Amino acid sequence: MNKKIAVISVLVAVLIVSALAGTIVYYNGVVNQKDSQIANQNNEITNLTNQISNLTAEVTNLTSANLVTALDEIETLSSPSIGELIGIPYACFMINGSVTNTNQHTAFNAGLHIVAASSNGTLEINMTVPLANGGVVYGTDSAINTYILNHPSTSVGTFVGGIFGLVLNIGPLSNIGSLQLGSLNGGQTANVTLGIFHEGTVTNWTVTPVWTDVH
């Protein structure tokens, strides 16, 4: 009798173990399948996220402008220093190069915002000028503008400087420019050659392109 009970117990145990093993194998398969499904879904989510990022970039390219500069900036001292401005009692901050709209949307009110200070921190230039070419000149205040207007025949001359021997001819003071900002179409490049006359001498500066995406 005891042997029969023992045999039955062993059989029951074997059946239970077998059932458990089968259950474990089954659920392992289910878990592996679900893991695979989750991995596939994660890959799909990643692909969709990348597609959304690409579409967002395309929308940005079509609905907003982006101005990139390639400029040389030089500060010249007031006369009578040889090789610099002759006969003009103001220093001149010169900008030469190009500005490109790398997106497809038109950049409205496009220009350059210049902030420049002397070595002691005195702010000498804080103004926005258009993307002007042809040796246009500006003054930072009414007194300097009056000087420019009263000396239309005075030539700023040619400045030679920079690491690669940059040659920049600003031209006559009569070429005073308007501060009216313009537009730059998508993919278009504007050449820039201008000078800003100011008090003091600047030793550090920033030249930042500015624009709006709406007219």
Could you tell me if 57 and 94 lie in one domain? Answer: no
Count: domains in the chain: 2
pLDDT at position 115: 98
Could you tell me if 95 and 150 lie in one domain? Answer: yes
Could you tell me if 121 and 145 lie in one domain? Answer: yes
Could you tell me if 44 and 107 lie in one domain? Answer: no
Could you tell me if 22 and 117 lie in one domain? Answer: no
pLDDT by residue, tens only, the chain of 215 residues: 655 566 566 565 656 666 666 677 677 776 777 778 888 888 888 888 888 888 777 776 777 999 999 999 988 876 544 344 446 788 889 899 999 999 999 999 999 999 999 999 999 999 999 999 877 889 999 998 888 787 665 555 444 444 444 444 455 555 788 999 999 999 999 999 988 999 999 999 999 999 999 98
Could you tell me the residue range of the domain that residue 194 belongs to? 67-212
Could you tell me if 114 and 15 lie in one domain? Answer: no
Query: What's the rounded Cα separation, in Å, for the pair 174 and 191?
Result: 20
- Number of neighbours of residue 97 by Cβ within 10 angstroms: 15
Could you tell me if 98 and 32 lie in one domain? Answer: no
Query: What's the rounded Cα separation, in Å, for the pair 35 and 197?
Result: 70
Could you tell me if 79 and 178 lie in one domain? Answer: yes
Kindly state the tokens that stand for 150. Answer: 């009263």
